[in-house]
Structure 1
Amino acid sequence: MKTTTEITRISKFLSLVLRHQPSTIGLALDANGWAIIGELLAKSNAAGIAIDLELLQHIVATNSKKRFAFDESMTKIRASQGHSIAIDLELRPTAPPEILYHGTAAANVQSIMTNGISKQSRTHVHLSTDQEIARTVGARHGKPFVFEVRAGEMSAAGYQFFLSENMVWLTEYVPTEFLPISADL
């Protein structure tokens, strides 16, 4: 088995080709973001990224964020969310909990308080039911700051929410009126 460092490197590579740039290795994703596993393995190996089915299964099973999923037949794989390319994850609108959290860098707070939370280059804004997860996400970009999102009120006002396979809450946009500031954890 590969080292933890090698597995992390391959997981990041999979995020790149399954979420953002499948063209990096000439991979084709279908309309729902699925890639044929045999094609993914062949094109990855041709690009110098050594992956076999056993390693791919290990990465999917052990990824702490559950970023990837196999289809029922175990012949296809896709990223669970976080895409910057247009795909249909076949998610259905779901009523969110009353409160969700969004982690960001403290440097972004003023802009968000003026403009709301936008999806930027992604297909959705990512939200969590867990403050600590939101804090960890924010810390990836600098000093973390956690926004409390009044998701229940947003939903009642007509905004749609979706729950990804890996339990990340998704929405198109969070207007400022639904952003009371939570304590910086």
Structure 2
Amino acid sequence: MDNKITKGISKSLSYILRHSPETIKLKLDENGWAEVDELIARFDLYDLKLDFELLEYVVEHNDKKRFAFNADKTKIRANQGHSISIELDLDEGEPPSYLYHGTVEKFLPDIKAQGLQKMSRQHVHLSADKETAIKVGGRRGRPIILIINSKAMNKAGYKFYLSANNVWLTAVVPAEYITF
């Protein structure tokens, strides 16, 4: 498969399934699921065409495992990262003692003052390993890795959820739980 094409489709799917399904007049249910046949029929962005085999390839080979099919592959959704209101039906879980968040230097003053905020998304995204946080932070420049005392947060009553692609999610991370 052409990496440029699959990357373009992955980015388009992320935008559609996480932020703007109306771009292609796609309907998502309350849990963020879209009918695969409807997605394929309506997907025509930036001269990118989609068929089931290509969609399946993108879902299975996406390095961040951003998407999931239902059991019979008739529906698809993004695993997390939505700015639209959906219910992912995630189970609350006990996080490891420390989690990580990748960012860049220009955001540090706000993070030090306000902690990590979900901004336009439904959750703050955290990684169980530094390598993933480095990749995430490196998308916008030289990465800065923040260490989150998730054990103390959890003990204080903050809830954590683990997405299908192993991203830890929480509503907010107060600054006092962050090591800069």
Match of 2:28 in 1: 29
Q: Which moved more, 1:134-143 or 1:82-91?
A: 134-143
Q: Deviation of residue 48 (structure 1)?
A: 4.3
CA distance in 2, matches of 1:36, 1:99: 37
Correspondence 1:170-181 to 2 at 5 A: 170-181=169-180
Q: Give the letter for the 2:95 counterpart.
A: P
Q: When the two structures are superposed, what TM-score results if normalisation uses the length of structure 1?
A: 0.94
Amino acid at match of 2:23: T
Aligned pair in 2 of structure 1 residues 135, 47: CA closer, same or farther (>3 Å)?
closer
2:157 corresponds to: 158
Contact 2:95-2:160 at 8 Å conserved across structures: yes
**Uncovered stretches (5+) of structure 1, i.e. residues with no partner:** none
Give the Cα–Cα distance (whole angstroms) in 2 for the partners of residues 47 and 27 of structure 1. 16
Distance in 2, matches of 1:47 and 1:109, equals: 35
Whether the 8 Å contact between 2:137 and 2:144 is mirrored in structure 1 is yes
Q: Does the CA contact (< 8 Å) of 2:12 and 2:45 recur in 1?
A: no
SS of alignment partner, residue 113 of structure 2: helix
Measured after TM superposition, the shift of residue 46 of structure 1 is 8.3
Distance 1:150 1:76, change over 3 A: same
Query: What TM-score results when the alignment is normalised by the length of structure 2?
Result: 0.97
Q: Distance in 1 between matches of 2:102 and 2:121?
A: 15
Distance 1:46 1:106 in 2: 34
Report the count of equivalent residues: 180
**Structure 1 match to 2:89:** 90
For 2:82 and 2:101, the matched residues in 1 are separated by 17
Report the Cα distance in structure 2 between the residues aligned to 1:158 and 1:105, rounded to whole angstroms.
28
Q: List gaps (5 residues or longer) in structure 2.
A: none
Distance 1:46 1:143 in 2: 31
- The equivalent of 1:42 in structure 2 is 41
Q: Quote how far apart the aligned CAs of 1:38 are.
A: 0.2
Aligned equivalents of 2:173 and 2:140: distance in 1?
20
Q: Is the 8 A contact 1:100 1:127 kept in 2?
A: yes
Identity of aligned residues (%): 48
Letter in 2 for 1:80: N
- What is the DSSP-based 3-state SS (H/G/I as helix, E as strand, rest coil) of the residue aligned with 1:120? coil
Does the CA contact (< 8 Å) of 1:25 and 1:47 recur in 2? Answer: no
The 3-state SS of whatever aligns with 2:100 is: strand
Q: Deviations over 1:96-118 (max 9, x none)?
A: 00000011011111210111000
Single out whichever of 139-148 and 58-67 deviates more from structure 2: 139-148
Q: Deviations over 1:34-63 (max 9, x none)?
A: 000000000014884310000000001100
RMSD, matched Cα: 1.2
Over residues 86-140 of structure 1, what are the superposed CA-to-partner deviations in whole Å (9 max), with x where a residue is unaligned?
A: 1001001111000000110111112101110000111100000111210111111
